[in-house]
Structure 1
Amino acid sequence: MRGFASFSVWWTAMSQEFKADQELLNLIAVICWNVWKARNWATFEHTNPNPIALSKKIMHFFSEMCHVLEMSLSQQVFATHPHHQMIWTPPPSGFLKFNYDAACNEANSMASAAIIVRNFNSHLVDGSAMNFHCSSPLAGEATVLLKALNVANSMGAQSVIIETDSLILYEMVVSSQKHQRWEIRASLSAIKALMPLFQYLSFSFVNWKANRATNCLSKLSVKAILPCNWIMVLPQELKNWLSLDASFAV
């Protein structure tokens, strides 16, 4: 920053120079924010900076922010293209991100499910864990997605990002095709009926590695070792996964 007395002076100059290119200014802001957070993490938590991981996180955050900014003021349902996101990333400010997971035992038609809700600070806001009967793994995933939308609606959330590691369900939710698999027809109809209740609603398909916290919660639920007040008193294993996600997010 040679030639500038402070960051605010530098940013004012950059804003004037590139005022005609808002997208570039947004990218510069995202880079500065993430580099500053990484610097603080290295300074105060004594971590080793990883430039490659940081650059990937910056581009994912910037891509997600662009998608959000492209939404109109009226309600929209947005679907990001399938990709291989390997780590969890926080949503933009003002949004809530819902991750969910379902595991179905076809031998006894029982499923365990988990929903985790986090904000832009990576803080756990809400969540749910349950065991239920289901006819297939896909039916289990659809049931939990419906539950996640109901949780979002009950919270009064208007700006929501939902991430799933079920590519089949993701494609059925975002598709306009009327053909639906019979075992999720009712759930899918209920899901699409809830969509207009949100001002912004984004669906994303992610790699299972970006969904490990909900996978952990689901396993704790199926083992019947999850306390009723788990949101207030986090099990250590779940706390470890949430902390790891947060560490990638800084």
Structure 2
Amino acid sequence: MHKKFNGYPKPSNLFLLCASTYGKQRCKAVMKKVSHDPIATIEGIRRNFAEWSATHSILQDDFMRHREGVNWMPLPPGFVKVNFDDSWSATQSGCGLGLVIRDGNGACLAGASYVSSHNSVVEAKAMTALVGLQKAANMHQKKVVMEGDCLEVIDALKDDSCAHWRSFIILKKIVQLSLDFDEDLWNWIPRDTNR
């Protein structure tokens, strides 16, 4: 749920809205191999803010917190949560990676989006998890909940099972990096919830 700050969304949420729109416009330009259009980006931010404002004013708090029966669960004390996801297409040469890091109250601590290139959706999801874990490590976090919608990656990291061979090296890097944390928990969430 977006909290309001003097009648407007919190500045961190506005930043995420702008950063997300910019990242999508940048990915679109890279994928289509055209120059980035700042006017389209500004228009996209304006449109997204208008959509957010309209949606926010008509939806009730319960609907925003409960999406398809999945409720936000408070984090254990001292933990941060890294939500990670990607946008991958077999017909495109590039893909987008995105992540958000939140504290136990749901406040945004950091977010990032990247353009990358991977041969499979599982490989892209694994890379996004690695980048999210690296970002949490760079923030000197010691307890992290990693949350994503790729069951194959989550299962491989939870019980050290075998995943797709293309993601093996990335998963090994994640396992190695996770040794720097006091605790790392891996949660799978349904795709429709990870938006």
**TM-score bracket for the superposition, by shorter chain length:** 0.5 to 0.7
Give the CA deviation at 1:190.
Answer: 0.4
Preserved contact between residue 153 and residue 163 of structure 2 (Cα < 8 Å): no
- 2-side partners of 1:48 and 1:211: how far apart? 20
1:92: how far off? 3.1
- The one-letter amino acid of 1:207's match is P
- Aligned match of 1:162: 146
> Residue 193 of structure 1: SS of its match in structure 2?
helix
Shift of 1:141: 0.3
In the other structure, the counterpart of 2:190 is: 207
Q: By percentage of residues, which structure has more strand?
A: 2
Distance 1:111 1:168, change over 3 A: same
- Name which of 131, 135, 138 aligns with 1:151: 135
User: In the aligned structure 1, how far is the partner of 2:82 from the partner of 2:102?
Assistant: 7
Counterpart AA for 1:173: L
TM-score (norm 1): 0.49
Match of 2:121 among 133, 137, 146: 137
Separation (CA, whole Å) in 2 of partners of 1:95 and 1:112: 26
Q: Which amino acid aligns with 1:107?
A: T
Q: Distance in 2 between matches of 1:92 and 1:135?
A: 36
2:96 matched to 1:112?
yes
Is 1:126 the counterpart of 2:115 in the alignment? no
- For 2:119 and 2:140, the matched residues in 1 are separated by 31
Name the aligned partner's letter for residue 185 of structure 1. Answer: F
Which segments of 5 or more consecutive residues in structure 1 lack a partner in the other structure?
Answer: 1-46, 57-83, 213-250
Please state how far the C-alpha of 1:113 moved relative to its aligned partner: 1.1
2:158 is aligned with 1:184: no
TM-score (norm 2): 0.62
- Measure how far apart 1:140 and its partner are: 0.4
1:181–1:106 CA distance, 2 compared to 1 (3 A): same
Amino acid at match of 1:102: D
CA drift of 1:93 comes to 3.4
Give the percent of matched residue pairs that are identical in Structure 1 and Structure 2: 21
Partner SS, residue 198 of structure 1: coil
Q: CA RMSD in A?
A: 2.8
Which has more radius of gyration? 1
- The Cα shift of 1:196 comes to 1.0
Ranked by relative contact order (alpha carbons within 8 Å, sequence separation 6 or more), the top structure is: 1
Using the TM superposition, give the Cα deviation of residue 206 of structure 1 relative to its aligned residue in structure 2, in angstroms. Answer: 0.9
Deviation at 1:180, TM superposition (A): 3.8
